[in-house]
Amino acid sequence: MTSPLANAADLALMRAQAQQLAPESWSLVHPTDVNDAQGSSQAWAVAASGTLAAGTGGRLMPAGYQASEQVIAARPSAAQTWTITLPAGTVVYPQDRIIIGTALAVAAAVTSFAAYRNFEVVGTTYGHTAEAAVRVAAVEVS
């Protein structure tokens, strides 16, 4: 379904143009809880990824100049909010992680985020019928 202001051809053109401005390789990982004999732990699995060469790149940019407070280790800590733009139709949830700098294979297990920039999603804007791209608010985590 498209917007009454844009037909399918217009929407396809806007999405193609948005991708030309998305130079970053990225991987989106979802957390899952794993139960074992010692209790439970959190595992990460790649849900989506993209690159500029494949026409599915992402874009990372600061979301203004105001730092926000995030609770880390039970203490408030200043955290810069970033806006990450991903291809239209990408399904992103709060608490997902987006790894900038690599496109991992979908369904791969992720055990370390140390080699790349790692962001935790704090808000999303996806789900609109005529979106040219998905934009998420995220904070960088180590």
What digits encode the pLDDT tens for the residues 86-137?
A: 888 888 998 899 998 887 877 777 777 777 889 999 988 766 667 778 889 9
SS3 38: coil
Q: Work out the pLDDT band at 2, boundaries 50, 70, 90.
A: very low
As a whole number of angstroms, the distance between CA 58 and CA 25 comes to 6
Residue 38, pLDDT > 70, answer: yes
What is the identity of the amino acid at 78?
Answer: A
Q: Please, is 127 exposed, middle or buried when counting C-beta atoms within 10 Å of its C-beta (0-12, 13-18, 19+)?
A: exposed
Look at 14 and 72; give whichever has higher pLDDT.
14
Bridge-based pairing of strands 26-36 and 97-100 is antiparallel
As a whole number of angstroms, the distance between CA 69 and CA 57 comes to 29
* Total-model pTM: 0.73
CATH of domain 8-141: 2.40.10
